Structure 1
């Protein structure tokens, strides 16, 4: 089957990078475009400036649904990432470009999404229990559809683009919850990503940005938050500063400008100030810290999901 404009497709690689335009791709980006995407090689190959270039818009996880708008002869597909709300860009989702080879035609749209979610920071899918690795680098928050009961410590799952089930370690999976997560649960997941390298547009345990960290932490529990910080502010409930609690969100903006940064509250405010977990642009990694003066000066609100 081939991709068809106007139809949905599913991501078939562990992590697909969404690009602003095909012409923006750099030679250093080759590992992110490989048939088996190699994010560790991609991230480690970039210098500090390349980590924050504007070519990357977002990333999509295995099984994520997209709407195909155009397929070019050179192998690029213009898509809308329908599971990443981006109201200011497109009411349907986040628009951008993917390699068509990283997508598989979607089954009947009435088919159910996966009822399992990857709870490990990173796992791999194999050809059989204890078999060869078929898909490395499958990320926290990836949904999987079971294809039969577990066998010992392995669970088979249907995976886009693969005609036979692939197998995941059962200890790396969890049922997708049927209730909203607690703030403590979300904060615990986000805290596991401490020290992950900052990559503009990143949504993975190999490289992530500030709004990607928030999007991914709630995604682990089936909560679909927008992709960008300003949209995340509009989708959450404002609080009076001082009423925030661990697991709430801090938003930051310069005078007269749109929101440009977001962090997850890690402690109640006290006489020593405020603390948050965030993907820090200047330090190029995920850190938990007390808000420095420059952050406090641009703090414009606290919100609750």
Structure 2
């Protein structure tokens, strides 16, 4: 297997090269327009993503290439732990979305705002729009900007105010603050970016920004994290939900209001009290 890096802002990971529909063309273009793709989909079209999309990989994220076929690469995303593969999350992406790994650097920083511009020079022309959760190795800081190493050997600049140092400690309220930036965002099956999030994608993305390597899917998150009694859960902890006899299918951040979560297709990310039907499937809580 060969190691590569994502060289587009967001690469959606599919179950197979045949999974995308004609209307998904903006997401799989050589220069994908994930914002336009998300905006174009109504609830019925979004429901059609179930069984097609798996997750998303962000700019500069490393992936292992397992095989290639007809312009597509079968990849594993090691930053997204999964019970599907011991090496990381598996799936397929367009080969055009892949480049060389960034040059070695230190002090990784994460985009901590919904969207920000990667610039050629401090305050200069934009190169690419980057999503929340994008992690890049920094090489220099100057006058309110940080220089970062890019795929294919280049470098660029980000505004200091748009990033946080991944190693900087974060408490429960910081995690809730980061997640609350997406209140009102449409649920997107397989989404891990500012253009759309699913329930476990929200948890995974927020934790990536604060330096925690959390599994990608809700049932894996439940299996991997330290459990606490449901009635002892505190803001910033996680609630997990499952129907009788089934695996965990939903997760959210415990919040002072009840739960901050990406609810389901057709709804938006919200912070709300747990409704009776939701409470009836609450099966576990965990602490980060």
TM-score bin (small chain): over 0.9
Runs of 4+ in 1 over 4 A off after TM superposition: none
Matches of 2:3 and 2:105, distance apart in 1? 14
Matches of 2:247 and 2:138, distance apart in 1? 42
Displacement of 1:170 after TM fit? Answer: 2.1
Matches of 1:244 and 1:18, distance apart in 2? 33
Q: Any conservation in 1 of the 2:63–2:76 contact (CA below 8 Å)? A: yes
Q: For 1:1-305, list aligned pairs within 5 A.
A: 6-52=1-47, 53=49, 54-72=51-69, 74-87=70-83, 89-106=84-101, 111-112=104-105, 115-136=108-129, 138-150=130-142, 152-161=143-152, 163-179=153-169, 181-267=170-256, 275-281=258-264, 283-305=266-288
Give 5+ residue unaligned stretches, structure 1. Answer: 1-5, 268-273
Q: Any conservation in 2 of the 1:11–1:65 contact (CA below 8 Å)? A: yes
Superposition TM-score, scaled by structure 1 size: 0.89
- Residues 106-154 of structure 1 deviation map (CA, whole Å, 9 limit, x = unaligned): 368xx45652221222101122233322112x1112112223332x333
Matches of 1:25 and 1:282, distance apart in 2? 18
Q: Any conservation in 2 of the 1:194–1:288 contact (CA below 8 Å)? A: yes
Q: Any conservation in 1 of the 2:186–2:266 contact (CA below 8 Å)? A: no
Matches of 1:178 and 1:40, distance apart in 2? 30
Matches of 2:263 and 2:116, distance apart in 1? 25
Matches of 2:75 and 2:8, distance apart in 1? 16
Give 5+ residue unaligned stretches, structure 2. Answer: none
Matches of 1:112 and 1:92, distance apart in 2? 23
Matches of 1:195 and 1:146, distance apart in 2? 32
Matches of 1:153 and 1:34, distance apart in 2? 34
Displacement of 1:296 after TM fit? Answer: 0.8
Residue matched to 1:270: none
Superposition TM-score, scaled by structure 2 size: 0.94
Displacement of 1:261 after TM fit? Answer: 0.6
- Residues 216-245 of structure 1 deviation map (CA, whole Å, 9 limit, x = unaligned): 111111101000000000111121121010
**SS of residue in 2 equivalent to 1:147:** strand
Q: CA RMSD in A?
A: 1.7
Matches of 1:9 and 1:230, distance apart in 2? 28
